Amino acid sequence: MKIELPGRVFTGQGEGRKYVELAWVKQQVKEKLYFDPYPGTLNLRLNEESMKRRVLLEKRSRLRLCQSEGYCTGLLFKASVEGVSCGVVIPQVENYSENLLEVVAPVNLRQKLRLGDGDLVTVRVYL
């Protein structure tokens, strides 16, 4: 089963990069999604319908990024964007907005897919 989540690309504050560069996060992404993550995430802002689908995802999560002291856990999903295998990370932190989606991939998705702020992208998440 797959869930499609369209969202608009936006520039984040660099928090995804810091998180993905942590050794324990890299290791768990490699073990669970079978790729070394590019040091950064593709940030997507979801519309109302996509936000509802994202909530469904959270209820069906099977993979987790288990925390290291001082860091939050994250739900992890296999996904693809425009045919590129990737993953979706939903940080389990208080006040994390339901309209945001963090996408990790083995490549810089912005460069590979020539994406800019405001571009519409659909992430296919596999359950």
Structural domain 2-126, CATH architecture: Beta Barrel (2.40)
The pLDDT tens digits for 34-69 are 999 999 999 999 999 998 898 888 877 777 776 656
Tokens representing 14 are 């660099």
Q: Return the residue matching tokens 């990024």.
A: 65
- Taking the CA atoms of the chain, what radius of gyration do you get in angstroms? 13
Give tens-digit pLDDT for 77-127. 999 999 999 999 887 777 778 899 999 999 999 999 999 999 999 999 998
How many angstroms separate the CA atoms of 73 and 125, rounded?
19
Going from N- to C-terminal start, the domains of the chain cover 2-126
pTM of the predicted model as reported, rounded to 2 decimal places? 0.88
Sign (positive/negative) of CA torsion 121, 89, 87, 2?
negative
For residue range 14-41, what is the model confidence (pLDDT) as tens digits? 777 877 888 888 888 999 999 999 999 9
